[in-house]
Structure 1
Amino acid sequence: MTDMPPPARPPRRGHATSNRGLPPLHEWDDDWLALTVEEVIDPDRPIVDAHHHLWQRKAPYFLPELLADLTDGHRIRATVYMECSSMYRTGGDPDFASLGEIEYVNGVAAEFASGRHGGIRACAGIVGRVDLRLGDRAREVLLAAAARAPDRFRGIRQMAGWDADPEVNMLKVPPPRGLLGDGEFRRGFAHLAPLGLSFDAHIYHPQIPELLALADAFPDTVIVVDHIAGLARHGPYARDLDETFRLWRDGVRALAERPNLYMKIGGLAMRGMGFDFIDRDRPPRSDELAEAWRPFVETCIAAFGPARCMFESNFPVDRCGVSYRTLWNTYKRLAAGHTEAEKTALFAGTACRAYRLAPELAGG
């Protein structure tokens, strides 16, 4: 008896050169992800996931989905929640609407802190959103945000990623051009350091000079650079990938010269990073991803050092191209050549320092 061929699968999404006309980026195919299942590498290593979301979109990602990922084999000790315009208030002063997200996430964190889900401390740090273009009034909103989660609120992110090409501008509501240099934005930004708050920077790599100028203007403010500084390898930046890499690499090195900056390593499974794994019939293995991502990850670690780099899942965004288990296996492969102290920093210690989490979360 001959083997029957596997049933035909529908074409993978995204066999196109742009994201126009494709389904929303924040969807995933669980059946496709299940085609690649790996054994967990180094399962006892403590991990603090430095960046994830919770949201209700076409594909929801709330506590059940998060918990399933956090308990899928790796030793996740804690996570940092990153704002994503979720659970905003619908009434009252619109300047305070984003506080609804912080209130909701603080409740999720309280459930994990109760021990109901074992020793995991999800959302131990919360990064919310406040519109810093409010200028000096932003201080009032920042104080109100901190009051909603006094033990967990660590800072804000205000999306700054802007590009002239609509193929690169993937945000549903792109920010205005030049946000990081806006006068009112900077007046609001000036209130972060005095309140002990950090700023997560979401940019595209051609905007690195704008972020450098902001960091130089506010050297006492901790700035965490998201997603390896927003490397864009699609649209116009795909025409000469060598030149794109050189410009990004030089920008990363310049960012590393600012001691108030940390680098977050992740987001590489997003379509904008220019890899085609998401379009294949089977999801990638961790060894394939490690080989493809190594030049970018090693560039960041060489520039910033492990003490200022941290791994992130960027889930559920990156779930469109890789499972949680395979993603952390990939990072473990990429970190294999580092010392134990450096691995501790990359997987947990740096996130604990940057977001002021309990240092024991990085321990054994």
Structure 2
Amino acid sequence: MRIDAHHHLWDLSAVNYPWLMEKGVIRFFGDPSSIQRDYLLPEFRVDAEAQGVAASVHIQVGAVDPWAEAQWVQSIAEQFQDWPLVQVAYCDLTADDSEEQLDRLQTLSSVRGVRQIIGRAPGEDAKTGTNALLHNPKFLSGLRQLGSRGLSFDLQLLPELMDQTADVLANAPDTQVALCHAGSPYDRTSSGLLKWAEALKSLSDLPQVYCKLSGLGMFDQNWNAKSVSPIFSTCLSQFGADRCMFGSNFPVDSLSSTYEEVVSRHFELTPSSLQDDVFRKTSKRFYRI
């Protein structure tokens, strides 16, 4: 059995996603028009099961009402009990009521952790101001709270924020962290990948930080196995296969490739002796599937 450790689902009649439904806007990951429709578990399963995937992790994806999204995902997990589905929900760790938010989330049996995005893309971050989380002492307090509750944190950021983020995470050593999308190496030039790899070391040196090999098509619509080979080799070298896990980032990455292409490229780049870790064992252990 393979596990997809990073994907999204959405029912546009049940949960509102303004970023997704904005018309005529090209995002850093491409033109979203083809995914501005319901994307439900049965459709995902057709693609996933064809590639040997039999369980998955749903990651929160910018709903207006994060609690409504978390409840909806829980209902899907309960409806399709033959498909092990767990979720990473949203919580504002800097909010005055963060403990109450987490109390409520932990009433849902599918919740394994929280994602609060620190960085998406340079242009977008300047508008959203999410980078400021790293300067907020409440954010560190929230991270520590996750660890004490047995919840993980999904970390999405940009390479230039890695050193500072590592300093914060070092002060929350009991909180397990999953680095989304290999740390978003958006500059795919040789010098850009070198800077990313050097910055990545600050995170990979922390034993509680794991790495998702996911989202590799967001910053390069024409990616292929050869083009992302340096990213794979760096992540596997720095983290080890027992701290790396596969994620499709579907349906967002469907803008640049099919599900079969995503899996086959990841499989091609993962040495056979490490495939069971990357495609199953690491995510099974991290997300308690």
TM-score range for the pair, normalised by the shorter chain length: 0.7 to 0.9
8 Å CA contact retained: 1:263, 1:304: yes
Structure 1 length as normaliser, TM-score?
0.69
| 2:185 aligned partner, one-letter code | L
Bigger radius of gyration: 1
- Which consecutive residues of structure 2, in runs of 5 or more, have no partner in the other structure? 13-19, 21-35
Match of 2:241 among 300, 306, 315: 306
Matches within 5 A, 1:80-229: 80-86=57-63, 88=64, 97-113=65-81, 115=82, 120-121=83-84, 123=85, 125-135=86-96, 137-147=97-107, 149-150=108-109, 152-161=110-119, 165-166=122-123, 169=124, 174-229=128-183
8 Å CA contact retained: 1:161, 1:174: no
Instruction: Please state if 1:247 is matched with 2:195.
Output: yes
1:68: Cα distance to partner?
2.8
Deviation digits for residues 155-210 of structure 1 (CA, Å, limit 9, x no counterpart):
100011066x42xx279x73433212312222222211111111001101111112
8 Å CA contact retained: 1:159, 1:175: no
Normalized per residue, the structure richer in helix is 2
Q: Partner residue of 1:293?
A: 228
Q: Partner residue of 1:356?
A: 288
Q: Partner residue of 2:45?
A: 67
| 2:93 aligned partner, one-letter code | L
8 Å CA contact retained: 1:162, 1:174: no
8 Å CA contact retained: 1:49, 1:78: yes
8 Å CA contact retained: 1:181, 1:210: no
Give the 4+ runs in structure 1 shifted more than 3 A: none
Structure 2 length as normaliser, TM-score?
0.86
| 2:168 aligned partner, one-letter code | L
| RMSD over aligned Cα atoms | 1.9
State the alpha-carbon separation in 2 of the partners of residues 146 and 300 from structure 1: 31
1:345: Cα distance to partner?
0.7
SS at match of 1:177: helix
Aligned pairs, how many? 266
| 2:242 aligned partner, one-letter code | A
- Which consecutive residues of structure 1, in runs of 5 or more, have no partner in the other structure? 1-45, 89-96, 278-283, 358-364
| 1:82 aligned partner, one-letter code | I
Match of 1:320 among 248, 255, 260: 255
State the alpha-carbon separation in 2 of the partners of residues 109 and 66 from structure 1: 13
Matches within 5 A, 1:1-12: none
